[in-house]
Amino acid sequence: MMDRGLVYSKTPAGEEATRQRTRVVQRNLRMVLLQVDGQLNVGGLIAKIGNEALVLGALRELEKGGYIALSAEAPSIWEQSKQKVKSIGAKATALRSEFSSFGHSEPEPLDDDLSGLSSVSQFSTEDEPKQSKKAKPAAPVDKPSAKPAVQPPAPAAAPHRPNPLALWKKRLEEVLTTWMARLNAGKASGELVPIRKKSLPLRIVGGVAALLVALFLLLILYPYNSHRSDIESALGKMTGVPVKIGSVGVQVLPWPSLALSDVRVGEASEVRIGTVIVPQLLPLYGSGPKRIAEVEAHDVFLKADFLAALPRLLEGVRGSPGLQLERLHLKNAHLLAGDVGLSGMQGEISLKPGANQGEVFLATAERGLQLRLVPSAAGVEVSIQSQGWKPSETSTYAFSLIMAKGLLQPGKLILNETEFRMAEGIYTGMWLFGWEKGGMSMAAHGTIDHVDVRELMKVLSIPLQMSGRLSGSLRLNGAGPTWRTMWDATEATMTVRVERGVIDGVDLGEAARRGPGNPIRGGQTKFERLGCELAINAQEVAGKNLEVDSGLVRASGEFLAKRDKTVEASLQFKLQSSVVPLRSHLRVSGELPVLQTVVEK
C-alpha cells in the first residue's frame, strides 16, 4: 500500500513529457503527471482527481518510466551540475594553494568528480549566473576530507524498455551536459580542463552517424498526416475525380516509404485501395514539381466502369504540372463488373508519357488469364488471353485457350473477335456482357467445331452417354439481377451435327426388328451422322428436325428432355432391305441414362 504522505516531483523527462504529448499518450497517466508539482502529496492527488485506484496505478507507472520521483530524490539536474562544478572549483583552488605553500606535489586528479556528470541525461534551460573574471581567493585548507555529497537520482522501480528515440535523445543530452560541466569546471579553476581530441576518421564517422540518426528521426517524427488534404487535392486534380485518404504515414522497412491507407477514388468509390506505398520518399520534400517513378497499390478493388473512363483520366495526368506519376503496380487486385469479378490479380498501369501511356495489364497469380487494356478514341480496347484457366476453384470445366479482342465501354464489354477452346473444340464469334441498371445481361452468336460430345455432356452435367464430334452454330441470350440468375435465365439455340457417334441407353435398330409391342430397354445405337435443331433453357432441351443416319437405318422426328432427366421422343423409322424397306413408328421414353424403345402399331 502506498504512503499517502509521499510527495512526488517531475523529473526532467516528466517535464519534457508535459510539453510533448507523444511521450505520454495514455490519458490516465498524463492526467496524473500534470497534477504532480512537488508540493501535493499522494493523498492530495487522490482527493483532487477523485479516483484512488487510477492515481495509485498511474503513480507507479510514471515512477517506473522515470517521469516522476520522490521530492527528496528529484533535485534539479542543473542544480546537481552546479554543485559539482563549485565543488570541483573549490578543490582545484585548495590544491593550487597547497602546491604553492609546500612545493611541488602532484595534484589530485579531477576526473573522478567529472565522471559523475556523464550520467546526467537532461539539464534545465535556465541561465547560470556568470562568474566574475577575477576569482576570489579560496580559504586555505589542509586537504579536502571528503567529496561533496550529491545525491544521485533514484533508480527506476523496475526495468523497462525505453523508446529508441528516447535513448538517442538521452545520449545526446549526456554528451552536451558533460561538455558544459567541463567548460564550467575550467572557468571555476581559472583554466580550461583539457579535452582529449578524437582522430579525424573517428570524427568523420561520428558526423556521418549523427547525420543518419538525424535523418532517421526526421523520417519517423515528421507529421505526414498534416499533408493529407494537400495530397488529396493534388491527386484529385490529376485524376479529375474526388480522392479520399484515411491516413498518411511512413513505412520504414524495407526502405523508408510514404504510406497512404484506405484510399478511395471516384464519386461512388469506384476504386478502393487498402494501402498505397510511395518508395521515393525523399524526392517528395521541398517545393516544385514532384516526379514519382513507381508506386505500389495493395488490396485494390477496381470497378470495370472506372477503367472504361481511362481516356478522360489520362487527360488529367498529362495536364498535371505539379505531380508526375510514371507507373502504378497493382498487388492483389480485384476487377469487378456488376456482381461478378476476377480476384487475386497482379499487374500495373503505365502513366509515363509515350506510346503505352494509360495501358493496363492484369494477370492472375499463375498468369492463366491475362488482360490488357489500351485507351482509344472509341473507349478502351481490351485483349484477353488465357491457357488452362478455370473461372473458379469449384468450376467443373476449364478453358484450354481463350483469345478475345473487343471494346470496354461504361456498363458493357463487347468482344467482337472471340475464340475459346473447351471440350477439345473451338468456339469463334461475338460475345457481349452488360452490367447496366443494376443487372447482368449476355448475348453471343458464333460457330462451334469439333467438340467432343462426351466431354461436353460432362461440362453441362447432362447424364446422356453419347460420343462423337459436334459442329454447328450457337446463339445465346440471357438477363437477370445477378450473374447466377442471368445464366439460369439464359436461352440457347443451336443447329448441330454430330459425326460418327454412339448413343448409349437406346437401341433403335433392335426395336424395329422386334416389331410392335416388344419394348427394348437400354442398348446402343451407332450412327454416321446426326443432325438436330436444339432449343435449350434451364428447364428443358427440345430437339426438332432430328435426323439419324446409320447406313441401313434412318430415323427422323423430335424429342424433349426435361430437367428431371425424363425423355420423350417420337421417331419415324426406316430400315433398308433388299426386298421392301421396313417403315415403323418408334417411341422412346424413360429416364436418363437408360431409355425404353418400342415400335407402335
Q: What is the pLDDT of residues 347-365, one digit of tens each?
A: 998 887 776 777 899 998 7
Burial of 233 (0-12, 13-18, 19+ CB in 10 A): exposed
CB neighbourhood size of 367 (10 A): 12
* Residue 243 and residue 376 in one domain: yes
CB 376 within 8 A of CB 406: no
Q: What is the pLDDT of residues 149-190, one digit of tens each?
A: 444 444 444 445 455 555 555 665 666 566 555 555 544 444
Final residue before a domain boundary, out of 368, 388, 420: 420
Is 170 a domain residue? yes
Final residue before a domain boundary, out of 397, 420, 443: 420
The dihedral through the CA atoms of 349, 354, 355, 358 has a sign that is positive
* Pick from 578, 533, 580: nearest CA to 558: 533
* Residue 95 and residue 157 in one domain: yes
Q: What is residue 498's predicted lDDT score, i.e. its pLDDT?
A: 94
Q: What is the pLDDT of residues 474-488, one digit of tens each?
A: 999 999 999 889 988
* Residue 66 and residue 100 in one domain: no
On the question of pLDDT at 543 being above 90, the answer is yes
Is 491 a domain residue? no
Among the ranges 61-75, 232-246, 321-335, 556-570, which has the highest mean pLDDT value?
Answer: 556-570
Residue type, 521: R
The model's pTM is 0.59
Q: What is the pLDDT of residues 449-466, one digit of tens each?
A: 999 998 888 877 778 888
Burial of 382 (0-12, 13-18, 19+ CB in 10 A): buried
Final residue before a domain boundary, out of 388, 420, 452: 420
DSSP string, 354-392: STTTT-EEEEETTSSEEEEEEEETTEEEEEEEEEEE-SS
Q: What is residue 169's predicted lDDT score, i.e. its pLDDT?
A: 57
Domain count, the chain: 4
Radius of gyration for the chain, computed over Cα atoms and rounded to the nearest angstrom: 44
SS3 458: helix
The domain in which residue 57 lies consists of: 8-73
* Residue 212 and residue 269 in one domain: no
Q: What is residue 110's predicted lDDT score, i.e. its pLDDT?
A: 37
* Residue 66 and residue 89 in one domain: no
More confident residue, 93 or 230: 230
Q: What is residue 547's predicted lDDT score, i.e. its pLDDT?
A: 93
Task: Give 33's strand partners.
Answer: none
Phi, psi of 416 (to 5 degrees): -75, -35
Burial of 57 (0-12, 13-18, 19+ CB in 10 A): middle
